[in-house]
Amino acid sequence: MALIKSIRGFTPVFGRDCYLADNATIIGDVVMGDHCSVWFNAVIRGDVHYIRIGNNVNIQDGAMVHGTFETAPTIIGNNVSVAHNAIVHGCTLKDNVLVGMNAVVMDHAVVGKNSVISAGAVVLENTIIEPGSVYGGIPAKKIKQISKELSEDLLERISRNYIRYAAWYREKAGK
């Protein structure tokens, strides 16, 4: 069973049909929407600032979501995928965003809707990612505009697939 911990008077709140892996950790001032999943070894730490997560969001294995004390909450929109070992810290991810494996998004960055942060990219503090963009590198720079086909194929497919994967685990557990 996932570690769900209250701290400073805040207890995580979950929407309908969320899947939390056995060793996922969710702490403090976290509010999560419907049909979300938090996978193995992922940590969502709302101890120093609030974290708000929309619907159909997947926080994949080993990912970390956190904020900065009193200055930078984390806000994640709908249909967002935070891939394996990514770090999302004190920033805003708008709807339909993919943060690739091992990517880092730093404080006060804003990732516009329908955007991709490539695997291994580092989005520096205060960076504004325009909607419909692909950013990559260290520091992350714009690579190209995202095509409608890539947006539908990649962003929407991953979000849908993780809802499916979560259902497999709930079925196995008899939930």
Bridge partners (DSSP) listed for residue 89 = 66
More confident residue, 69 or 170: 69
- Can you list the domains of the chain with their CATH numbers? 3-173 (2.160.10.10)
pLDDT band at 151 (very low <50, low <70, confident <90, very high): confident
Collapsing DSSP states into helix, strand and coil, what is residue 98?
strand
Q: Which residues contact 12 (CB under 8 A, 6 or more apart)?
A: 4, 5, 6, 26, 27, 28, 29, 30, 31, 32, 44, 46
CA atoms of 54 and 149, how far apart (whole Å): 24
Q: Tally the residues of the chain.
A: 175
Summarize pLDDT for 38-89 with one digit per residue, the tens. Answer: 999 999 999 999 999 999 999 999 999 999 999 999 999 999 999 999 999 9
- Cβ atoms of residues 64 and 30 within 8 Å: no
CA atoms of 88 and 105, how far apart (whole Å): 5
Q: Is residue 174 scored above 70 in pLDDT?
A: no
Alpha-carbon Rg for the chain in angstroms: 15
Nearest to 107 by CA among 122, 121, 88: 88
Considering the chain, what is the average pLDDT of its residues?
A: 95
